[in-house]
């Protein structure tokens, strides 16, 4: 398999960078994702998530989010011979032939803007191009998948969706509750991303998407980045490459292969599927997809072409 590239819709590695634990340049420092492994794994575009941990929410969510965005910029600047920031549609033209990997800044979750719409514009100005509306809890926008409520978006949340559409920001519905998911699909004029989720039919976890959700997401041109977290793949602490393939196959069958992408969640998950321990192991996943009957064209769609189509639709 020579002709695949990887676009990964989610990793949390910037947290280790900010905390001074790793420079994210070499596997010797541990973790699951770094530049050396991403390059070996043929990653051409990586979403770098600013994950705001629960202890900062809600009061210090904005400050912590900005600190993470600042760290992501420092990381990109310190490695400018290897990476560059993706800010607009034209930047995609530099992939994959350019020698540099693109980084797209995303924020996980909407706590960063509190209940102030102008902060959405501010983070856009700072280069952020994707935002997960919620993490697992409730915020001013909506309720997360960890809440027992079934509320749809707040009035403020509706305004956030409309403004994200205007700005050309990617709306990420991973971690959002189901009522919120349907509300977003009803409101958004642009396709929507579930950056790191799996199929509920195979693994009934509230973080996964039902077949109806997968179909609806796909109908609007959206995609789901299949998450490598064993608990979302099998509900167990362990999983293998075949479990990732099973979820990819299911989503492709239910929603079409055009709806499938990858959202590793590297450095946000404490364990990984066997054989997929880090960003250098995509070759093994591609081989497993090929062995299970996916064609070369289908594999290219799953690994990068669907994401390219999606990004060139949503980004301005
Ligand atoms: Zn997450």
Q: pLDDT by residue (tens digit) across 259-274? A: 999 999 999 999 999 9
- Neighbour-count burial for 108-126, b at 16+ CB within 10 Å, e otherwise: bbbbbbbeeeebbeebbee
pLDDT per residue as tens digits for the range 181-233 = 999 999 999 999 999 999 999 999 999 999 999 999 999 999 999 999 999 99
pLDDT at 3: 79
pLDDT at 24: 98
Give the range among 1-5, 41-45, 203-207 with minimum mean pLDDT: 1-5
The Å distance, Cα 48 to ligand 1 centre, comes to 12
User: How far from chain centre, in Å, is Cα 55?
Assistant: 22
CA nearest neighbour of 139 among 25, 61, 229, 227: 61
The Å distance, Cα 38 to ligand 1 centre, comes to 19
pLDDT at 2: 62
Evaluate if residue 300 carries a pLDDT over 90.
yes
Mean pLDDT of the residues in the chain: 97
pLDDT at 1: 57
pLDDT at 161: 98
The Å distance, Cα 50 to ligand 1 centre, comes to 10
The Å distance, Cα 171 to ligand 1 centre, comes to 14
pLDDT at 217: 98
Give the range among 95-99, 115-119, 277-281 with minimum mean pLDDT: 95-99
Return the percentage of the chain with pLDDT > 70, whole number.
Answer: 99
The Å distance, Cα 306 to ligand 1 centre, comes to 21
> Which CATH number do you get for residue 114?
3.20.20.140
pLDDT at 99: 83
The Å distance, Cα 272 to ligand 1 centre, comes to 14
**Could you list the residue range(s) of the whole structural domain that residue 299 is in?**
6-314
Rounded Cα distance, 193 and 247, in Å: 17
Where residue 98 falls among pLDDT bands split at 50, 70, 90? confident
Q: For residue 146, tell me if it sits in a domain.
A: yes
Where residue 12 falls among pLDDT bands split at 50, 70, 90? very high
The Å distance, Cα 92 to ligand 1 centre, comes to 25
The Å distance, Cα 159 to ligand 1 centre, comes to 23
The Å distance, Cα 2 to ligand 1 centre, comes to 31
pLDDT at 135: 97
Q: For residue 137, tell me if it sits in a domain.
A: yes
The Å distance, Cα 268 to ligand 1 centre, comes to 7
Query: Positive or negative CA dihedral for 274, 8, 107, 157?
Result: negative
Q: For residue 239, tell me if it sits in a domain.
A: yes
pLDDT at 97: 77
Q: For residue 63, tell me if it sits in a domain.
A: yes
Rounded Cα distance, 262 and 126, in Å: 25
The Å distance, Cα 265 to ligand 1 centre, comes to 7
Number of structural domains, the chain? 1
Q: For residue 29, tell me if it sits in a domain.
A: yes
The Å distance, Cα 175 to ligand 1 centre, comes to 7
Q: For residue 267, tell me if it sits in a domain.
A: yes
Q: For residue 299, tell me if it sits in a domain.
A: yes
Q: For residue 1, tell me if it sits in a domain.
A: no
């Amino acid at each position: 398999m020579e002709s695949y590239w990887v676009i990964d819709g989610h990793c949390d590695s910037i947290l280790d960078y900010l905390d001074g634990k790793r420079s994210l340049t070499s596997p010797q420092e541990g973790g699951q994702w770094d530049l050396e492994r991403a390059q070996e794994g043929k990653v051409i575009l990586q979403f770098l998530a600013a994950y705001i941990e629960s202890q900062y929410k809600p009061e210090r969510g904005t400050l912590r989010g900005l600190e993470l965005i600042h760290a992501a910029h420092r990381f990109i600047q310190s490695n400018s011979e290897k990476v560059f920031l993706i800010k607009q549609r034209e930047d995609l033209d530099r992939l994959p032939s350019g020698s540099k990997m693109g980084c797209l800044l995303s924020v996980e979750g909407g706590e960063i803007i509190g209940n102030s719409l102008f902060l959405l514009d501010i983070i856009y100005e700072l280069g952020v191009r994707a935002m997960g509306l919620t993490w697992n809890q409730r915020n001013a926008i909506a309720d997360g998948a960890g809440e027992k409520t079934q509320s749809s978006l707040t009035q403020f949340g509706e305004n956030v969706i409309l403004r994200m559409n205007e700005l050309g920001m990617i709306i990420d519905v991973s971690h959002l509750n189901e009522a919120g998911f349907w509300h977003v699909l009803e409101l958004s004029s642009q396709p929507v991303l579930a950056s790191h989720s799996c199929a509920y039919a195979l693994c009934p976890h509230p973080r996964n998407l039902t077949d109806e959700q997968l179909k609806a997401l796909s109908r609007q041109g959206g995609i789901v980045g299949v998450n490598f977290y064993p608990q979302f793949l099998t509900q167990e602490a362990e999983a293998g490459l075949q479990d990732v393939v099973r979820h990819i196959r299911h989503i492709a069958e239910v929603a079409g292969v055009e709806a499938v992408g990858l959202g590793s969640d590297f450095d946000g998950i404490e364990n990984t599927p066997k054989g997929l321990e880090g960003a250098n192991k995509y070759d093994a996943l591609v081989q497993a997809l090929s062995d299970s009957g996916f064609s070369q064209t289908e594999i290219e769609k799953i690994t990068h072409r669907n994401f390219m189509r999606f990004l060139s639709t949503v980004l301005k």
